Structure 1
Amino acid sequence: MRTLVGLSGFTPEQEERIRSAVPGWNVVFGKAKELDPGIFREAEVICGWAKEAEADLLRPDAKLRWVQAGSAGVDYLPLKALEQKGAVVTDASGVHPVPMAETAFAMMLAFGRKLHLAVRKQAERKWEPLGAYGELRGKTLGIVGAGAIGEETARIAQAFGMRVLGLRRSGRPAPYFDRMSGPEGLDDLLAESDYVVNILPHTERTVRLFDAGRFARMKPTACFINVGRGSAVDTAALTEALAEGRIAGAGLDVFEKEPLPDDHPLWSMDNVIITPHMGGLSERYKDRLAELFADNLLAYAASGRPARNIVDYGLMY
């Protein structure tokens, strides 16, 4: 009997949807530490990943053929070992565009209307106007990583009356962008943008892409927002740029090291908004993941290969 293991904490209704996609299979849901390790050696398909199960899933005699990740980024998976095993990996791209775009806009709106400062004044019981307030209308937004999340962010930006610049590896045009470029256009995008939103995945090419030189390209009035991966940013260079006023602010959901150490100077900066890597979380997250997984299961049962979101091991996404 073919076995599927789900580790993603689905509701009973979501579990039933997944079961119905593969009738006759042995479908097991639960937390890795609570399941018999033997089930991982039998699992042909797993949704989610856990360090506790890794050794059993990667054994030479394990039956693993497909991993459905619970996130858009897959850099936390043992990709080289999975590639050597011949397993297919699919990511959760398409599950996160709405909450990620809304997180980026929450930060942009907060900076423009100085809500982050107003909340701090509220805690001090101070009624204190905070100077010049801005608008998003007429501003330029630069989106670095113009995939599904970037496209949703661009759609909302146009509704706000913003000019939208995008960057993607292929450089191909996409809906809602006024201009799209390939990687060679990054410096121009930074120089023109009032807000820069990073949504890049973690790859060898993106590590510390945003370094001191890149922050120097930005306007001193611009804000940098990172909802992609912390590894894309040289945190020391960003901290220095903020402290010296070379950029106006930063909204940070992800960091090189998580959690951010409690003695890090970013915590105390008035021009910084910090959130605990929650940009993709939503009350609808698990329902969207279950829908994606069930659809891919139907394709896998019919053809032996999922239909959507297959990760290219060479690109790491």
Structure 2
Amino acid sequence: MPKIVFLRPLSQNQLEQIYTAIPPEWEVIHGDKEQWTPHLKEAEIIVGWIGTVAEQCLNPNTKLRWIQNWGAGVDGMPLAEMAAQGIVLTNASGVHAFPISETILAMMLAFSRKLHHSIRHQIQNTWKSTGELDEIHGRTMGVIGVGEIGEETARLGKAFGMKVLGVRRSGKPSQHVDQMFDNLGLDEVLRLSDYIIVTLPLTPETYRLFGRREFGLMKASAHFINIGRGGTTDTDALLGALREGKIAGAGLDVFEQEPLPETSPLWQMDNVIITPHNSGSTVYYDDRAMEIFMKNIKAYLQNGQPSCNLVDFDKHY
């Protein structure tokens, strides 16, 4: 009996969706770890990923053919081993465009209107002016890594009257990006942008892409916002840029070390906004991820291959 193992509990509605789409001989396993662990060696499809699963699934005799990751990032997964065994990997790219773009916009607005300072004053019961306030209207946003999140962020930026620059590997134009660059244009975008938005995945190519040199190219008035992966940024270089006034501030949802250590100087900096890697969180997350899985399971049963969000093992995304 073929098995689909979900590394998470499913609602009754989700189960009904799945059973409507799959043949009756398929078995769906879900729930807590104790419920699905005994079935891992027999799974043909696994939905979700936990590092400890690899030991039981990635071996020469595995029945595993496809993994549907419940998140978008795959940098923590054993991609080489999956590729070597011919296992197909898909992710949940596309689920995050609305919540993450809203977090990015919230950070830009907070910096321009100095809401982060007002919140600190509120905690201290202090009525205190934060000085002259800025606007994001008319400012330039540079989106580094224009995928679905970047596209939606660019659209929102245009609604606020911003100029939008973009960087992506192909350099392919986008409807909401005023000027698109390929990777060779990164330096130019860093020089011109008031808000640098990083949505990049972590790959060998993007590891510590933002270091002392890159922060030195940015405007002293620029704000750096990273909601992609912490490993794309050299933390020491970022700290130096913030301390030395090479940039005005940073909005950070992701970090090289997570959770961010209590001893990190970032916590105490009044020009830094920190969120705990939750910018992709939304009450609609599971429903959207399930939509992707349902498209893929129907294609898999029909053609032997899921149809969307296939991860390129060479590109690491």
| TM-score tier (shorter) | over 0.9
Match for residue 28 of structure 1? 29
Structure 1 residue runs of 4+, over 3 Å off?
none
Q: Deviations for 1:181-217, whole angstroms, at most 9, x for unmatched residues?
A: 1000001000000000000001000000000000000
Give the CA deviation at 1:11. Answer: 2.4
Match for residue 275 of structure 1? 275
| 38-47 vs 305-314, which moves further | 38-47
Cα 1:110–1:10 change in 2 (3 A) is: farther
Greater RCO (CA < 8 Å, at least 6 residues apart): 1
SS at 2:250's partner residue? strand
Give the CA deviation at 1:174. Answer: 1.2
- The amino acid that maps onto 1:271 is N
Cα 1:9–1:132 change in 2 (3 A) is: farther
Give the CA deviation at 1:263. Answer: 0.8
What does residue range 209-224 of structure 1 map to in structure 2 within 5 Å? 209-224=209-224
Give the CA deviation at 1:167. Answer: 0.3
Indicate yes or no: 2:201 matched with 1:201. Answer: yes
Match for residue 62 of structure 1? 62
Q: Give the Cα separation in 2 of the matches to 1:189 and 1:105.
A: 19
Match for residue 79 of structure 1? 79
Match for residue 178 of structure 1? 178
Q: Deviations for 1:118-137, whole angstroms, at most 9, x for unmatched residues?
A: 00000011111111111111
Indicate yes or no: 2:283 matched with 1:297. Answer: no
Q: Give the Cα separation in 1 of the matches to 2:11 and 2:95.
A: 17
What does residue range 88-167 of structure 1 map to in structure 2 within 5 Å? 88-167=88-167
Q: Is the 8 A contact 2:30 2:36 kept in 1?
A: no
Indicate yes or no: 2:178 matched with 1:168. Answer: no
Unmatched 5+ residue regions in structure 1?
none
Match for residue 306 of structure 1? 306
- The amino acid that maps onto 1:253 is D
Q: Is the 8 A contact 1:210 1:232 kept in 2?
A: yes
Q: Give the Cα separation in 1 of the matches to 2:137 and 2:199.
A: 22
- The amino acid that maps onto 2:91 is D
- The amino acid that maps onto 2:305 is R
- The amino acid that maps onto 2:288 is R
- The amino acid that maps onto 2:205 is R
TM-score (norm 1): 0.98
Q: Deviations for 1:249-279, whole angstroms, at most 9, x for unmatched residues?
A: 0000000010111011110000000000001
Give the CA deviation at 1:18. Answer: 2.3
Give the CA deviation at 1:36. Answer: 5.2
- The amino acid that maps onto 2:130 is L
- The amino acid that maps onto 2:232 is A
- The amino acid that maps onto 1:119 is I
Q: Give the Cα separation in 2 of the matches to 1:113 and 1:10.
A: 42
Q: Deviations for 1:40-97, whole angstroms, at most 9, x for unmatched residues?
A: 1111111101233221111221200000011111111111111111000001111110
Q: Is the 8 A contact 1:157 1:163 kept in 2?
A: yes
Indicate yes or no: 2:262 matched with 1:265. Answer: no
Q: Give the Cα separation in 2 of the matches to 1:93 and 1:276.
A: 20
Cα 1:187–1:61 change in 2 (3 A) is: same
Give the CA deviation at 1:8. Answer: 3.6
Q: Is the 8 A contact 1:202 1:229 kept in 2?
A: yes
Between the aligned residues of both structures, percent identity stands at 50
Q: Give the Cα separation in 2 of the matches to 1:291 and 1:221.
A: 41
- The amino acid that maps onto 2:246 is R
SS at 1:35's partner residue? helix
Q: Is the 8 A contact 1:166 1:180 kept in 2?
A: yes
Q: Give the Cα separation in 2 of the matches to 1:53 and 1:168.
A: 33
- The amino acid that maps onto 2:294 is A
